[in-house]
């Protein structure tokens, strides 16, 4: 109901017909209609929200995601996106998209099972939810659901690799509105009716007054006013009296007390829903009369054939919804149809059973004495003779002979208390072998109680006459009306006792004769009597009989199954709560404990099956079962009896030895106990221990997996009894991640991106010992200061130290860690300490390693393991033992070229959960570090030629330089030059349409360096010659003050690129139209300046703002430059855009008459004024 919590279930099952189709990482997706009917993110939601989920009383992990805005994130049709927390796509590993109603919620339940096989019992999850108190009453809300396996058909996240194994889904479509629905309809209140009487039946007549209670359960917090609760009595039910109501109510309608039928209505002024399921109740009394409202007999007086009375109830009220979006309105509710059906009988009987002597074990078991109570009632309007009660006892129980059956009767004109029934007045008919058997031999005992005969024996007529009938004269209209006959109800009670036997005599379908756990002992009762003519004082028989029946069963007690963890790695710890929460890791041994009680040690074949989660455990590991031995703690792969096992000690008879079987496909162990019957019904305990090893197969870390045990105990004559028990344990696995970084250099100008933050500082390349200072490199440090930097602003000959960081974020140590790297062109191994390869843990402890062949740049290295904890230990936030830092030094080669970003990739290609275990890297883990020796060129505007245009603009896209048509713009290019040799170095300037390069010998350049070599010409060109103007002293700190003075020769400036220096003359083209690009060619440049600062080439040139139609006011002329080198026709990294903006005069012209001649005639002079004005906008220039 609205505003209340409720519970529903979702069931997960592997329904594959192939027993080998196991799935890994099972989950359930549920879409909750949070927004409801009025919500959808408009105002306040009024739907259903998630509260929690459990399985067998244990909380289930739930991930909640709310669907985002409509038509975003890849969703359409008004649906919004969420990213699935577990499901991934093949080949990419990307989280799958789920689309749903914006504001609704996707709840993903991670089932506590590592694997799920087809033979495994279905899992039912109990889910708690809350229905908004604003929900629209009567408007159904749909849940949507599907199931899936996170890891697919294998236990690892191997979406990456062919054959691709990604998430398996029962309904793979991303549109959640197409998943199977289940609806919930919000209700404001419910109406129920409770019958206060025996077995939904009654004997008719005013001496058998019964009661109904009508209950209204109102949604918590909701208030109904003028609540009218009505009970609609059928036309064969006589209202007697209103009994009570809670809370107090007032009468608005009361049926007649003399005519059947009618409607009882009580008004409750105001009732607010609260705890419980009965916020308003009314109780009234009634009976079933002889005649219905139309005057017809309710029950045929000649046959006594039963009738029925169908009773209904309803309620109406006024209700103002809490949700202001919903209008106030009258509300109506009805009890279910039919609300209650009552059997109206001329003679009725009921039966019950209770234990009067309970021998051990407690509850129903062999040797117990049971007492059955048979009650019967005769209608006020009927008389019977030859009344008998026939009770059939099923096989497995016999009449207890030391206590005679008893009969008590409250008759018409007489009454007597319970007294033994004369042996002649009841029959014990034994249809069981040894009885001696009376056909049909089926194991039953038939007890026939001749009530009428017993009445005669006790000195009364054998008739049972209803209380409204005069036994002396008979009665034609026996209504017990005032001043007519009424001797109260005619009733009787028989009691007798039985004893539960050790064995069945004849009826044991299972083939086991013993009365065993879970067997059902049935009892069937029938009352019959000859209907008499009540109108005749002689009460002759009408020739009809009437009857009724009843049943009572007893189920023999059966055992209880429990499961726990007994020991880990051979150390007892039951229930091992701390150890389970800490988790177990590959190679650990886990001893499981199974206990199954035997209340009387009488049972059919019992099989205890343990479902071990794949791939963490393998059932087939258990090959030895010491089936009759208490062994303490069994070793891995063994099973034995626990210390409390008392079943194997039984001696009457000696029990059979149980057997063990395993199923590799279902991954189960089954302990099978054959049929056993203990002669003394001694309670015993089956106590089993078995030990398995946590396997080292790759698996997800930190999951709580469920180990489920299932017992099926056969029964003799009923379905097998089954129970489940479970225990959870956390599996710890290694999860390794790696990053690669440049961490230090001997070039003071080197820039690390991102920077390597204090307190950790890596030592300069070329130094030995621990590679860093400043403390422990821990997970906490890496979370806030990732070591994942690239390096720029370095040059040929510089030393660079690289670090490969391996971090274990899993809860178990990583073993057999293998790593290699690449030695890219552009690096050489330096002299001195050479590669200087060092391997340390994050806490500074040195780690040994093995060369796998060719060193780290060949087949790689393997880190030497701690035999227990592994090389990369289990995750710890602060101690650094789960971090490995591998460093080595390289030197930039003299052959590095302009714009060469050297990408160096480290690969972690193997690690395991145990020494020698399987590889966890379904896909190798890689990361790169990039060293960028030089930077991209910088381009700017030096000046423009005309003073009437503003010089304020910086030339950026946000602040362009203004230039008029015909104005000359002087551009400046600054490009750093790597130390070493750059073959065929060019700068490609990309001029836009609207700018024309001026080939008027105003293009100038200069090489900038500050080496102490004399002469200064330490940066040389193979094509530009030795002109002193080609060189100047400086570095990055003085660039802004340097103006180039060397005039570029004609062959060094062209519209055509040259892929070889030999082609400069042949490729020289100088037509230069609007938008033609320019190539500045410097030949092969050798930079011998080996120092820590940078060397540069500066170029300045002029370009004309062309007088063409496209150059209109406000047009932006964007310009950039990029380097080229060698034979490549491809640009390197371009400079940021430089922007000039075209400005022009905006002339407006007006003409006006100043004066006219008078008179206005030929020859007169007319004076005009012509006016010209220029615009004042940002993009307007002087005219």
- Lowest pLDDT segment from 309-318, 487-496, 802-811, 1167-1176: 1167-1176
Domain at 189-345: CATH architecture: Sandwich (2.60)
Q: Domain-by-domain residue ranges, the chain?
A: 5-184, 189-345, 390-555, 561-731, 736-932, 938-1143, 1145-1183
The residue ranking higher by pLDDT, 560 or 1090, is 560
Q: What is the DSSP letter of 1125?
A: -
What's the pLDDT score for residue 431? 95
Find all residues with CB under 8 Å of 1126, minimum gap 6, and list them: 897, 983, 984, 1059
Q: Mind listing the pLDDT tens digit for each residue in 586-606?
A: 999 999 999 999 898 888 899
List the structure tokens of 1170. 């012509």
List the structure tokens of 136. 């629209």
The residue ranking higher by pLDDT, 510 or 528, is 528
Give residue 1149's pLDDT band: very low, low, confident or very high (50, 70, 90).
Answer: low
* pLDDT at 1013 > cutoff 60: no
Whether 544 and 302 have beta carbons less than 8 Å apart is answered as: yes
Alpha-carbon gap, residue 923 to 158, rounded angstroms: 8
Q: Determine phi and psi for 577, rounding to 5 degrees.
A: -60, -45
Residue matched to tokens 């069945």: 504
- Answer whether CATH 1.10.30 is correct for domain 5-184: no
Whether 136 and 35 have beta carbons less than 8 Å apart is answered as: no
Give residue 481's pLDDT band: very low, low, confident or very high (50, 70, 90).
Answer: confident
Whether 754 and 606 have beta carbons less than 8 Å apart is answered as: no
Collapsing DSSP states into helix, strand and coil, what is residue 105?
strand
* pLDDT at 788 > cutoff 70: yes
Alpha helix locations (H) across 230-286? none
Q: List the one residue out of 403, 396, 423 whose CA is nearest residue 523.
A: 396
- Answer whether CATH 2.60.40.740 is correct for domain 561-731: yes
Q: What is the mean pLDDT of residues 228-232?
A: 96
Whether 398 and 501 have beta carbons less than 8 Å apart is answered as: yes
Residue matched to tokens 């549109």: 175
Q: Is 842 exposed, middle or buried (0-12, 13-18, 19+ CB in 10 A)?
A: buried
CATH fold, domain 938-1143, is Immunoglobulin-like (2.60.40)
* pLDDT at 1015 > cutoff 60: no
* pLDDT at 894 > cutoff 80: no
Q: List the one residue out of 1172, 980, 1180 whose CA is nearest residue 1086.
A: 980
The C-alpha angle with vertex 297 and arms to 292 and 302, in degrees rounded to 5, equals: 165
Whether 766 and 874 have beta carbons less than 8 Å apart is answered as: no
CA 395 and chain centroid, separation: 51
Whether 800 and 791 have beta carbons less than 8 Å apart is answered as: yes
Pick the CATH number of 736-932 from 3.30.470.10, 3.30.1370.100, 3.30.830.10, 2.60.40.740: 2.60.40.740
Find all residues with CB under 8 Å of 958, minimum gap 6, and list them: none
Q: Mind listing the pLDDT tens digit for each residue in 835-849?
A: 999 999 999 999 999
Collapsing DSSP states into helix, strand and coil, what is residue 976?
strand
Q: What is the mean pLDDT of residues 543-550?
A: 95
Find all residues with CB under 8 Å of 636, minimum gap 6, and list them: 589, 621, 691, 692, 693
Collapsing DSSP states into helix, strand and coil, what is residue 425?
helix
Give the pTM.
Answer: 0.73
Q: Mind listing the pLDDT tens digit for each residue in 607-654?
A: 999 999 888 899 999 999 999 999 999 999 999 999 999 999 999 899
**Which residues partner with 583 through β-bridges?**
none
Alpha-carbon gap, residue 138 to 1075, rounded angstroms: 72
Q: Mind listing the pLDDT tens digit for each residue in 1081-1111?
A: 999 988 887 777 788 999 999 999 999 999 9
* pLDDT at 1014 > cutoff 60: no
Length of the chain: 1183
Q: Indicate if 938-1143 has the same CATH topology as 5-184.
A: yes
Say how many C-beta atoms besides its own lie within 10 A of residue 664's C-beta.
10
- Rounded alpha-carbon distances, angstroms, from residue 905 to 247, 714, 896, 925, 929: 79, 64, 18, 10, 7
Give residue 1147's pLDDT band: very low, low, confident or very high (50, 70, 90).
Answer: low
Query: What does the mean pLDDT of the chain come to?
Result: 91
Give residue 903's pLDDT band: very low, low, confident or very high (50, 70, 90).
Answer: confident
> Dihedral, CA atoms, 659, 663, 666, 669, nearest 10 degrees?
30
Q: What is the mean pLDDT of residues 667-679?
A: 92
Find all residues with CB under 8 Å of 24, minimum gap 6, and list them: 114, 115, 116, 149, 150, 151, 152, 153, 154, 155, 614, 615
Share of the chain above pLDDT 90, in %: 67
Q: Mind listing the pLDDT tens digit for each residue in 402-449?
A: 999 999 999 999 999 999 999 999 999 999 998 888 999 999 999 999
- Rounded alpha-carbon distances, angstroms, from residue 219 to 39, 278, 323: 20, 10, 14
Q: Mind listing the pLDDT tens digit for each residue in 746-779?
A: 988 888 989 888 899 999 999 988 999 999 999 9
């Amino acid at each position: 109901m609205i505003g209340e919590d409720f519970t529903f279930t979702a069931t997960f099952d592997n329904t594959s017909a192939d027993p080998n189709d196991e799935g890994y990482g099972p989950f359930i997706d549920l879409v909750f209609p949070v927004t409801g009917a009025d919500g959808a993110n408009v105002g306040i939601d009024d739907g259903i929200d998630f509260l929690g989920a459990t399985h067998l009383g244990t909380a289930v992990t739930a991930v909640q995601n709310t669907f985002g805005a409509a038509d975003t994130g890849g969703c359409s049709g008004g649906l919004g996106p969420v990213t699935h927390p577990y499901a991934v796509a093949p080949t990419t590993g990307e989280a799958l998209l789920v689309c749903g109603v914006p504001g609704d919620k996707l709840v993903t339940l991670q089932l506590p099972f590592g694997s799920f096989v087809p033979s495994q019992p279905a899992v039912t999850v109990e889910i708690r939810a809350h229905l908004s108190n604003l929900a629209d009453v009567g408007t159904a809300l749909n849940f949507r659901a599907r199931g899936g396996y996170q890891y697919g058909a294998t236990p690892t996240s191997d979406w990456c690799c062919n054959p691709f194994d990604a998430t398996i889904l029962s309904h793979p479509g991303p549109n959640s509105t197409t998943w199977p629905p289940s609806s919930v309809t919000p209700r404001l209140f419910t109406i129920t009716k409770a019958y206060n009487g025996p077995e939904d039946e009654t004997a008719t007549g005013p001496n058998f007054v019964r009661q109904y209670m009508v209950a209204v359960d109102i949604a918590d917090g909701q208030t109904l006013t003028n609540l009218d609760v009505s009970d609609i009595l059928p036309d064969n039910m006589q209202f007697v009296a209103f009994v009570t109501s809670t809370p107090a109510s007032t009468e608005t309608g009361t049926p007649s007390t003399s005519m059947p039928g009618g409607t009882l209505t009580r008004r409750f002024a105001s009732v607010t829903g609260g705890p419980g399921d009965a916020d308003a109740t009314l109780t009234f009394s009634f009976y079933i009369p002889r005649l219905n409202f139309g005057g017809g007999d309710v029950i045929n007086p000649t046959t006594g054939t039963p009738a029925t009375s169908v009773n209904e109830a309803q309620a109406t009220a006024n209700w103002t919804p809490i949700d202001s979006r919903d209008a106030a309105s009258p509300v109506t509710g009805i009890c279910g149809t039919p609300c209650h059906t009552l059997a109206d009988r001329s003679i009725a009987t009921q039966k019950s059973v209770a234990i009067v002597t309970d021998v051990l074990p407690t509850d129903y078991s062999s040797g117990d004495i049971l007492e059955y109570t048979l009650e019967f009632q005769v209608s006020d309007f009927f008389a019977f003779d030859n009344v008998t009660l026939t009770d059939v006892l099923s096989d497995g129980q016999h009449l207890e002979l030391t206590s005679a059956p008893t009969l008590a009767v409250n008759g018409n004109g007489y009454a007597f208390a319970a007294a033994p029934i004369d042996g002649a007045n009841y029959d014990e008919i034994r249809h069981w072998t040894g009885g001696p058997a009376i056909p049909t031999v089926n194991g039953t005992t038939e007890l026939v109680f001749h009530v009428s005969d017993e009445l005669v024996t006790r000195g009364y007529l054998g008739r049972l006459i209803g209380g409204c009938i005069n036994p002396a004269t008979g009665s034609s209209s026996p209504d017990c009306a005032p001043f007519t006959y009424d001797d109260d109800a005619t009733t009787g009670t028989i009691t007798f006792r039985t004893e539960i036997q050790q064995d069945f005599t004849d009826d044991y379908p299972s083939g086991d004769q013993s009365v065993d756990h879970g067997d059902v002992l049935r009892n069937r009762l029938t009352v019959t009597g000859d209907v008499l003519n009540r109108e005749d004082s002689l009460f002759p028989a009408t020739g009809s009989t009437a009857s009724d029946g009843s049943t009572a069963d007893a189920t023999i007690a059966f055992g209880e199954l429990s499961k726990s963890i007994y020991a880990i790695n051979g150390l007892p710890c039951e229930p091992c709560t701390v150890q389970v929460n800490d988790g177990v890791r590959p190679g650990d041994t886990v001893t499981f404990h199974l206990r199954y009680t035997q209340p009387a040690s009488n049972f059919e074949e019992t099989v205890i099956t343990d479902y071990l989660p794949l791939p963490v455990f393998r059932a087939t590991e258990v090959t030895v079962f010491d089936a009759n031995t208490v062994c303490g703690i069994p070793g891995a792969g063994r099973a034995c009896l626990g210390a409390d096992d008392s079943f194997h000690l039984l001696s009457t008879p000696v029990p059979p030895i149980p057997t063990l079987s395993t199923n590799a496909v279902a991954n189960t162990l089954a302990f099978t106990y054959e049929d056993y019957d203990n002669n003394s019904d001694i309670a015993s305990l089956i106590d089993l221990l078995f030990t398995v090893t946590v396997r080292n197969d790759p698996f997800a870390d930190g999951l709580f997996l469920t180990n489920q045990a299932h017992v099926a105990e056969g029964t003799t004559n009923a379905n097998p009894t089954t129970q489940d028990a479970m225990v959870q344990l956390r599996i710890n696995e290694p999860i390794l991640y790696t990053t690669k970084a440049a961490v230090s250099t001997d070039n003071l100008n080197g820039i690390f991106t991102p920077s390597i933050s204090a307190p950790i500082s890596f030592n300069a390349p070329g130094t030995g010992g621990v590679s860093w200072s400043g403390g422990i490199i821990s997970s906490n440090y890496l979370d806030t200061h990732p070591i994942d930097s690239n390096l720029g602003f370095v040059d040929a000959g510089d030393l660079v130290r690289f670090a490969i960081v391996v971090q274990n974020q899993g809860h178990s140590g990583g073993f057999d860690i293998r790593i290699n790297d690449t030695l890219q062109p552009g690096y050489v191994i330096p002299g001195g300490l050479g590669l200087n390869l060092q391997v340390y843990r994050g806490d500074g402890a040195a780690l040994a390693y093995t060369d796998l062949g060719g060193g780290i740049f060949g087949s790689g290295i393997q880190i030497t393991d701690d035999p227990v904890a592994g090389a990369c230990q289990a995750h710890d936030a602060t101690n650094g033992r789960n971090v490995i830092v591998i460093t080595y030094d390289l030197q930039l080669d003299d052959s590095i070229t302009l714009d060469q970003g050297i990408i160096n990739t480290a690969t972690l290609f193997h690690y395991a959960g145990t020494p020698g275990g399987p590889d966890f890297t379904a896909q190798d883990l890689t990361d790169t570090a990039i060293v960028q020796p030089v930077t991209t060129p910088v381009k700017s505007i030096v000046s423009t030629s005309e003073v009437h245009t503003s010089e304020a603009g910086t030339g950026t896209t946000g602040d362009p330089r203004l230039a008029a048509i015909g104005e000359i713009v002087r551009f400046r290019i600054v490009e750093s030059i790597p130390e070493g040799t750059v073959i065929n170095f060019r700068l490609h300037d990309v001029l836009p349409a609207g700018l024309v390069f001026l080939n008027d010998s105003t293009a100038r350049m200069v090489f900038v360096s500050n080496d102490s070599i004399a002469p200064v010409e330490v940066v040389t060109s193979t094509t530009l010659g030795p002109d002193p103007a080609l060189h100047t002293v400086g570095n990055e700190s003085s660039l802004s003050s340097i103006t180039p003075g060397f005039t570029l020769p004609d062959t060094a400036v062209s519209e055509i690129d040259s892929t070889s220096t030999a082609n400069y003359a042949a490729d020289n083209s100088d037509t230069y139209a609007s938008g033609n690009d320019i190539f500045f060619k410097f030949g092969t440049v050798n930079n011998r300046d080996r120092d820590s600062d940078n060397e540069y080439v500066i170029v300045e040139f002029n370009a004309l703002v062309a007088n063409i139609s496209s150059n209109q006011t406000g047009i932006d002329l964007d310009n950039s430059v990029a380097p080229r080198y060698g034979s490549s026709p491809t640009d390197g990294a371009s400079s940021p855009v430089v922007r000039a903006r075209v400005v022009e005069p905006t002339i407006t012209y007006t003409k006006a008459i100043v004066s006219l001649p008078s008179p206005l005639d030929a020859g007169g002079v007319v004076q005009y004024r012509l006016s010209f004005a220029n615009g004042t906008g940002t993009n307007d220039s002087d005219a």
